[in-house]
Structure 1
Amino acid sequence: MDALASLLDGPRARGAFLLRSVLTTPWSLRIADRAPLTLMYMVSNGGWVVPDGAPPVRLRPGDIAVVRGPAPYTVADDPATEPRIVIQPGQVSTTPQGEELCEEMDLGVRTWGDRTDGEEEQPDSAVLISGTYQMHGEISGRLLTALPQVLVLPGDAWSSPLPALLCDEIVRDQPGQEVVLDRLLDLLLIAVLRAWFSRPETGTPAWYAAQSDPVVGPALGLLHEGPAHPWTVAELAARTGVSRAALGRRFTELVGEPPMSYLTGWRLALAADLLREPDATIAAVARKVGYGSPFALSAAFKRVRGVSPQQYREAAGREAAAAAS
């Protein structure tokens, strides 16, 4: 498993919130749902993403934006348009004064908008498809911090059948459709990030660029594929066909930290995600991520993160409850 695949395993869609919005100019949505990651496909008429305290970013028809949360932001036909709708945690839509709007804006299967004339869509309507990842995961943290707050992949910068397929599937109401949409959203996110990272002007993160190195790439793959294995630099070096010194030097140069430090961070990120599962014991988590005992995991976890696994689990539960409320 390569580094990107491992990191994307964190934000994998499970019951993701997908919606097709049909909006009449002037329109403006204040997004305050605290979601960690949202993907938006601008189907028609264009708009702007306006992060708080940052310059607005243009969205033309065919463009795809990936917005990193949980900070609020605005999506509008024009940066100057005042928000008329607020998307709250739990994907509840309200007026800026707090009055709920969900029922009156319902336009059918996963479709929502502000048309009041009996027609779902007019030539002046902006159509926006959004997919919101609602999971907060530690593995995805390394990925999310590598992204700008707003990433826009221009529609003319790549070619993929996935956006059109998502447009077709989002309005279907068939058995198993939520799973189909989750997987489509995952595929689209992976395709967009690969296309984004391949662009020289985007500042590719070190861990992603290092995958193409003939020595460090295989070493990263080994660590991600088998985090529970008792790795040493010597074994990694032997498996990649270089000396210990050569591997350590090249790994640190390209990734930004030594192999064993990277492995520790990866193991603890995995542990943090697993600790969010209510049925996972600390002992079971320790075994899955390469620690010989719950005590060893707890010591490493507290040393790096400042809290015990149990304290982390309790805090994560409170965070999830707050995000859902």
Structure 2
Amino acid sequence: MLSDVLRSVRLTGSMLFLVDATTPWRSWAPQTEAFRRVVLPGSQHMVSYHVVTRGRCWAGLRDAPPESFETGDVLVIPHGDAYFLANPPDARASYGPEEAVAFFRQMAAGELPSVVPEGGGGAQQTQFICGFLGCDRRPFNPVLASLPRMIHLRGATALDGAMRHLVDFALCELREPAPGGKDVQLRLAELMFIEVVRRCLTTMAATQAGWLAGLGEPMVARALTLLHGAPARHWTLAELATQAGASRSVLAERFVQFVGQPPMQYLIQWRMQLATRMLAEPGAKVSGVAAALGYQSESAFSRAFKKCAGAAPGGWRRQPSE
């Protein structure tokens, strides 16, 4: 199901590079809206994550206290907030907003080396991988909606198994560029983020509400699997509850508790997210998309789409990415 959602929201790698920092240093990024259009103009949103591969540092959102990061820790900024990494935590930045935007533009265009030196040449060294990728935010991205403003995954759980192999592969590609390396790096950026989300699924499900938490609750997970497996079906709460092995009242209560909205409302929003993907296909017709998603008339689908997405299907297809 996670793959289903990530495919629907058009996860797209944008940048992957390695920062080699020596004290004192401060690496920071403005809100992603300041540079998203120059990096990925066709994407609605950008997510960033950072994997500390050597040393330690402090990191956090611009408007929040810093947290200590060690080797193996992962920092994720899901919603595009301004953030920083530094050592010591009060180190001054060596560049301003315009330089930051110019850097991201050049890095995304492949005009800069994939290993970036930073800092004043002091004795303490920190290395970290920086990954950026785009995705759809509208009309409905359940993964994004379930994530907090900042995620700090500790090395004990973040950098093992598949993630360790991906990090080692990324370090090799970044330090020793080879033909086709840019494409490899972008795919790695996507794979590493997917693995981060899988880690979030296991570490956050028990403590937070949201779509990822719902996957960790067996009854809700069964209901979500059914809805995603047959989104065009004319589901009723009673039928969904029966197949999920619960009463209507218990399923409705648990679903709202974990996912944050009733099952049928979730289904409508998920259908509309699928619709945006279908409408983007060359030659797609609104009537065909409506039928594929279980709507008996184009007008009924258009009303539901406009209510959820804020624009009619035809208008949505013509509007540029925000």
TM surpasses 0.5: yes
Equivalence for 2:153:
153
- Identify which of 93, 112, 124 aligns with 2:116: 112
Distance 1:312 1:113 in 2: 42
Question: What is the CA distance between 1:131 and its match in structure 2?
Answer: 0.9
Equivalence for 2:42:
none
Distance 2:105 2:268 in 1: 39
Q: Secondary structure at the match of 1:83?
A: coil
User: Does residue 17 in structure 1 map to residue 15 in structure 2?
Assistant: yes
Equivalence for 1:126:
126
Amino acid at match of 2:156: D
User: Does residue 262 in structure 1 map to residue 257 in structure 2?
Assistant: no
Bigger mean CA offset, 296-305 vs 186-195: 186-195
Q: Please give the residue correspondences for 1:242-321 in structure 2 after superposition, counting only pairs within 5 Å.
A: 242-245=246-249, 247-275=251-279, 280-315=284-319, 317-319=320-322
- The answer to whether the 8 Å contact 1:50/1:79 transfers is no
Equivalence for 1:45:
55
Equivalence for 2:173:
169
Question: What is the CA distance between 1:283 and its match in structure 2?
Answer: 3.6
Question: What is the CA distance between 1:151 and its match in structure 2?
Answer: 0.9
Equivalence for 2:207:
203
Assess, with a 3 A threshold, how the Cα gap between structure 1 residues 137 and 282 changes in structure 2: closer, same or farther.
farther
Amino acid at match of 2:303: A
Q: Secondary structure at the match of 2:100?
A: strand
Distance 1:26 1:75 in 2: 11
Equivalence for 2:104:
91
> Residue deviations 1:191-218, cap 9 Å, x none?
3233334236973334333334443322
Question: What is the CA distance between 1:263 and its match in structure 2?
Answer: 0.4
- The answer to whether the 8 Å contact 2:12/2:190 transfers is no
Q: Secondary structure at the match of 2:135?
A: coil
Question: What is the CA distance between 1:19 and its match in structure 2?
Answer: 0.9
* Ranges in structure 2 where 5+ consecutive residues have no aligned partner: 37-45
Distance 2:174 2:9 in 1: 20
TM-score when normalising by structure 2: 0.76
Amino acid at match of 2:190: D
Question: What is the CA distance between 1:245 and its match in structure 2?
Answer: 5.0
- The answer to whether the 8 Å contact 2:50/2:130 transfers is yes
Distance 2:258 2:144 in 1: 19
User: Does residue 194 in structure 1 map to residue 198 in structure 2?
Assistant: yes
Question: What is the CA distance between 1:25 and its match in structure 2?
Answer: 2.5
CA-atom RMSD, angstroms? Answer: 3.5
- The answer to whether the 8 Å contact 1:30/1:72 transfers is yes
- The answer to whether the 8 Å contact 2:52/2:127 transfers is yes
User: Does residue 77 in structure 1 map to residue 98 in structure 2?
Assistant: no
Bigger mean CA offset, 135-144 vs 53-62: 135-144
Q: Secondary structure at the match of 1:170?
A: helix
Amino acid at match of 2:233: H
* Ranges in structure 1 where 5+ consecutive residues have no aligned partner: 95-101, 320-325
Equivalence for 2:77:
67
Greater helix share, structure number: 2
> Residue deviations 1:79-118, cap 9 Å, x none?
3223223431782269xxxxxxx96xx4x4x2222589xx
User: Does residue 219 in structure 1 map to residue 217 in structure 2?
Assistant: no
